[in-house]
Structure 1
């Protein structure tokens, strides 16, 4: 990358010129005198302290950059006690542009300092700066913050030539010791990036020779509310390149990231979730010497991550280099386990061909092969040595769970949704248990709901739930709300007398939380949908909470599990959760709302 590439953008617009303004209170206009006080810590903050010091000149004559019709000459430096002004002269043989010609860039100037920092005339975050003479409070209020980079200065005075322009750039500190270089570039004038050495030690030594014009000045007393402000709104002459906008800078970062993405490098830093499916990127990292057996995250090696998030091509690339195909992550899972959970047949076969252990349990009784036997990929491992068929009752539990998952398998919006399944009770009975009269709760279209979801506040909407019959064998009904009340203990206790109910809340802040109620008591609270541990109920395995990947119907798994926990067996639950269809609304009594 060039010195200025991340600071400039094509199709730059000329920047606005300088402007000076005088701000004063109306009552102070007239013949009031403003007296110069001694320099303070802000005297050289945004411009040279020329009111107090005569700088020490350090001549340096050199061609800093040249093109066919323009040259940039370095003529020297003005050194102040703690800062320095760079003097350039631009000579051109042609002035102006043809009408309609686009301006692609301006003159770019920068310093590479001895401590590795880069300061330029394009540095951003200098929206407006200036020097204030007057009460200290006025100064602090007017211009907070600190400018950065090389500040363009207006040399002022009459122009003696159409083909020569002075360019003065101000650095608010002395260059640190060490090698310093002046860098210029001007694409419009075919001036390439050119570097010129600078003697930073000579500049630092010259600072001691700057002359203080008014030593021992007394601090002037306050003279009213008048403040003199020199304001810089645009910067230097129009041919200097302005900084990029935020949008331009972001676009340039994207281009640079794309350029360097496939440059070989010897580590796995910066690899995002989807990057583990980019075989070309993984190959570039391997070519750069990235350690293939390194634990990248939570004990997971690149092979784990490619099996979990990538594809068979990425897995195959890594298998050619790994030394331990069965290395465990922090949870004791191998790459084959993750490939099984994702359901990627090609990755599973590649890992098995590479010698991956199929049958050793990794969580409770579950091994990668045992999980595969519950999926459509069972044939991949069914005839391998060590295979043991699953008991009929376990296969039946998986088939029953899959049937319920299919009943809910339709894309739906569940964020913030509350659901409660109630066994054996119809909608009329549930409405009565919620303290309302069924006759007063007719089925109405969604647009006739008793509250306006767009206008009413959230607390108002929590007072209402929708109750819908859910046929099945056995069936029951379902309570829904865009809120947490269907899963609230008080509601579940009210509706579960002599039966079973399960409430579920898809918390938008994270996690899906369930509550089982039986015979008017809440008997279990749990977070569901997480990858099961050895101590979790068998149903967490049957409803496939262990599955992962973009094609997994996570919401359907959770809803089917909750439905089964309440004891319902249904074949089509989509109508109960379709918010666009008519529903029966119930206003909850005050003792159930919190």
Structure 2
């Protein structure tokens, strides 16, 4: 869980304001001591000086923060603020306190992948191996990351099963295929389809391949500023791999739409994703002409979610890959593609073969 609580604080009686200290809105007053944690914004928990000022004013080290049962240690760990963690631990806070989701501060530190914060909590005796989202413990999450040495030699250390380790390597390779430069995702619709050639995809979309030459986005046969017209067109681009296939892209939702997925997936598998600019990322899986699964994806997973949500690192708050690369990689895997270079595939404005969709697919 990520904690956000920017709601305005109710007005306090004057006597209570005098004890609690002035509000934190003005920069000059932020660091005056207070006896509570009210008014702390999300990123304030990375500010060790602010945390120490609150503690000096009498704010309870393990007290209520108003953030879904999280203690100050949870929120400081989420920010990866090792000095703030040390300040709270020095006040004797419970290192393995659970929030409303049953997660400990170490779980939050692991999700933020901050080595110093993780070390501080482990050195304070944090529980590394008890599952918090079965079978996932903080230590098990770390075993599939470059920070595995922090836990691999600890008492009770586990090893990832060979099958799980192989799945993690494959997922990381797919994520890496989308490079390390920023990716455009806002409003993007993209579909990965296994095995099919560009010509076959174009035919399944109801067009003649001979009438669909490859052109750049600036030379596309429609006015990109006209949303309704643009929505009637998609770009098709082949991808090499073992196996490879094609991607279909659009500045719109249709590559994840049931009608389009059903039309192109006969005899194969396709996975469509829509990065809704109004919020949320939505994916649909189609097999042999039928959509068999649709869900919001990319959210921090829970115990009931597919194992692939964990393998493709939806649980990480801080990532060393571009935003969206994990979702592109997940969509590739769901479609059955194994590609080595996904940059051009994911770039809707790179050269494409543009297809005008028939009315039944719009």
8 Å contact from structure 2 (residues 235, 354) kept in 1 = yes
Pair 1:412 & 2:180 matched: no
What CA distance in whole angstroms lies between the structure 1 residues aligned with 2:25 and 2:111? Answer: 36
8 Å contact from structure 1 (residues 497, 518) kept in 2 = yes
The aligned counterpart of 1:527 is 296
Select 1:464's aligned residue among 233, 245, 262: 233
Partner SS state of residue 408, structure 1: coil
8 Å contact from structure 2 (residues 262, 289) kept in 1 = yes
What CA distance in whole angstroms lies between the structure 2 residues aligned with 1:465 and 1:580? Answer: 11
Q: Which has the higher helix share?
A: 2
Partner SS state of residue 490, structure 1: helix
The aligned counterpart of 1:357 is 127
Select 1:331's aligned residue among 67, 79, 101: 101
Q: CA deviation at 1:322?
A: 3.8
What CA distance in whole angstroms lies between the structure 2 residues aligned with 1:278 and 1:513? Answer: 35
What CA distance in whole angstroms lies between the structure 2 residues aligned with 1:450 and 1:439? Answer: 14
The aligned counterpart of 1:584 is 353
Which structure 1 segments of 5+ residues have no match?
A: 1-115, 117-254
- RMSD of aligned Cα (Å): 1.6
Which structure 2 segments of 5+ residues have no match?
A: 1-13, 15-23
CA offsets 1:122-151 (integer angstroms, 9 cap, x no match): xxxxxxxxxxxxxxxxxxxxxxxxxxxxxx
What CA distance in whole angstroms lies between the structure 1 residues aligned with 2:231 and 2:182? Answer: 24
8 Å contact from structure 2 (residues 182, 323) kept in 1 = no
Pair 1:304 & 2:74 matched: yes
TM-score normalised to structure 1 length:
0.56
Bigger-Rg structure (1/2)? 1
Cα pair distance change 1:429/1:273, threshold 3 Å: same
Select 1:319's aligned residue among 76, 89, 93: 89
Q: CA deviation at 1:551?
A: 4.7
Q: Which has the higher strand share?
A: 1
CA offsets 1:207-230 (integer angstroms, 9 cap, x no match): xxxxxxxxxxxxxxxxxxxxxxxx
Q: CA deviation at 1:580?
A: 3.7
Partner SS state of residue 525, structure 1: strand
What CA distance in whole angstroms lies between the structure 2 residues aligned with 1:397 and 1:310? Answer: 28
8 Å contact from structure 1 (residues 309, 549) kept in 2 = no
The aligned counterpart of 2:19 is none
The aligned counterpart of 2:198 is 427
8 Å contact from structure 1 (residues 543, 557) kept in 2 = yes
Cα pair distance change 1:333/1:400, threshold 3 Å: same
The aligned counterpart of 1:295 is 64
TM-score normalised to structure 2 length:
0.91
Alignment of 1:336-415 (within 5 A): 336-409=106-179, 410-415=181-186
Number of aligned positions between the proteins: 339
8 Å contact from structure 2 (residues 206, 358) kept in 1 = yes
Q: CA deviation at 1:269?
A: 1.5
Structure with more relative contact order (C-alpha pairs < 8 Å, separation 6 or more): 2
